[in-house]
A and B are shown apart, each in its own frame.
Chain A
């Protein structure tokens, strides 16, 4: 259970799905469900909504298997369907004014120099990320980003979509997408720095 489907087997799996093979449907849900739950939860911020979105995404995908052309991987196709559904859910929510991230962006003196002197992080990122509590902290900080910044960061840096596709999914221009991603990364850096540097208060604590 939960084992990855080798890409080579994908053609056979899709043929089984199209033939209505129940075990193939179950295999797809078990193989891809976990990752779809994680990404949709990161976008909508709720386990319950993520579960509903993933359930609907599987059903929509299964209903439209005819439209799966096989020029992308099955997992990529499922991700697009689930992510689009999560973004639609997010847009449907009552809009409340988003918290500004200005204070999390680097500030500059009149002469163009950084206001802040950046202290080196204690350990290389690979090393610090070996700790489960740090990985949890990073996830918590990403979840704290305002919706419009978190979504672009999730699509570009975690889902690995390119700028054009991200812009299309979010209904933004390519330039606006790039600016937003850059700000999201800068804001996240500011949020992580106190925990990664030697002056960290309660390093690696949540």
Chain B
């Protein structure tokens, strides 16, 4: 397996979906290629960074929902009562 193929299989490997035979070749390549080991670490790190930055516990989320949104939803609901 070459670095090019390893990069193609990376996502399936990370999610545990790479078939056994390919996984053996993938892991053999990793033991021999420092550059691909580093790429794998950074690929997984990128996914993790996205989750931390934007996920459920992100500091991006406001402590309170904007008051005008709360008021607008409640007011509009009264105009269109649920069936």
Contact = CB atoms under 8 A, between A and B. Distances in A.
The answer to whether A and B belong to the same complex is yes
B24 interface: no
Contact of B58 (A22, A38, A62, A126): A38
Nearest to A54: B69
Give the dominant DSSP class at B's interface.
helix
A135 interface: yes
A77 interface: no
B11 A37 contact: no
A181 B10 CA distance: 12
Nearest to A108: B4
A181 B15 CA distance: 12
A135 to B, nearest CB: 4
Contacts, number: 152
Interface of B: 2-5, 7, 10-11, 35-36, 38-39, 41-43, 45-56, 58-66, 69-70, 72-74, 76-77, 80-83
B11 A182 contact: yes
30 contacts: A2-B65, A20-B81, A25-B74, A29-B69, A33-B66, A34-B62, A34-B63, A37-B62, A38-B54, A54-B69, A63-B83, A112-B5, A114-B35, A118-B38, A118-B39, A126-B48, A128-B49, A129-B52, A129-B53, A139-B53, A142-B54, A157-B47, A157-B51, A158-B54, A178-B11, A182-B10, A186-B7, A186-B43, A188-B46, A196-B45
The 10 closest A-B pairs by CB, nearest first: A112-B2, A33-B65, A138-B53, A125-B45, A189-B46, A118-B38, A182-B11, A129-B52, A112-B4, A108-B4
Interface in A46-82: 51, 54-55, 58-59, 62-63, 65-66
Contacts of B62: 34, 37
B49 A59 contact: no
A35 B56 contact: yes
Contact of A58 (B59, B73, B83): B73
Interface of A: 1-2, 20, 22, 25-26, 29-30, 33-35, 37-38, 42, 51, 54-55, 58-59, 62-63, 65-66, 106, 108, 111-114, 117-121, 124-126, 128-129, 132, 134-136, 138-139, 142, 153-154, 157-158, 178, 181-182, 185-186, 188-189, 192-193, 196
